[in-house]
Amino acid sequence: MGQVKKPANLLTWVKYSASSLVATLTSEVAFLLCYWIGTASAVASVIAFAAGAVPNYVLNRRWAWRRQGRISARRELLPYAIIVLGSAAVVIAGTSAGDHFVRGWVDSHTWRTILAGAVFLTANAVTFILKFVLFDRYVFSKPVRTPATK
């Protein structure tokens, strides 16, 4: 009678990791391009995060957690958006702080771009495991019926 949420398995973790790699590469390229042309690091981070959010959601929903059909806005999109916006805040703050530090020490635009890109990538890595747990428990979880105890 009770509801238990089935935890993710190793295959889900591997697929999530692959999906995150695609999203991270998409974001990283967007960040580097924006930063290279002179966009402020915070704005470049926002653009980059948005560029990676769509493939991340689609790949995670359909491939990693095998969700098909209609999207429940209340059950999936809202918690997904909260988690992604929270991790975006961490990435933007980290990248902005790293950029501020790098600008004080490095004159070369090329090296500043490389270092800011590394900070952006590192900030994404910091949120990686936490996002997996939150996606698995709150966004893509699927209640599983357990047999009634006698």
Q: Which residues contact 3 (CB under 8 A, 6 or more apart)?
A: 143, 144, 145, 146
More confident residue, 139 or 69: 139
pTM score, whole prediction: 0.80
What pLDDT score does 70 carry? Answer: 73
Helix spans in the chain (H): 10-36, 41-58, 78-105, 109-134
In the block, tokens 């995670």 appear at: 60
Distance CA 28, CA 12 (A): 23
Domain boundaries, the chain: 8-142
Query: Rounded mean pLDDT of 20-46?
Result: 95
pLDDT in tens, 66-80: 887 776 666 788 898
CA distance 104 to 32: 19
Q: Residue 113's pLDDT is what?
A: 94
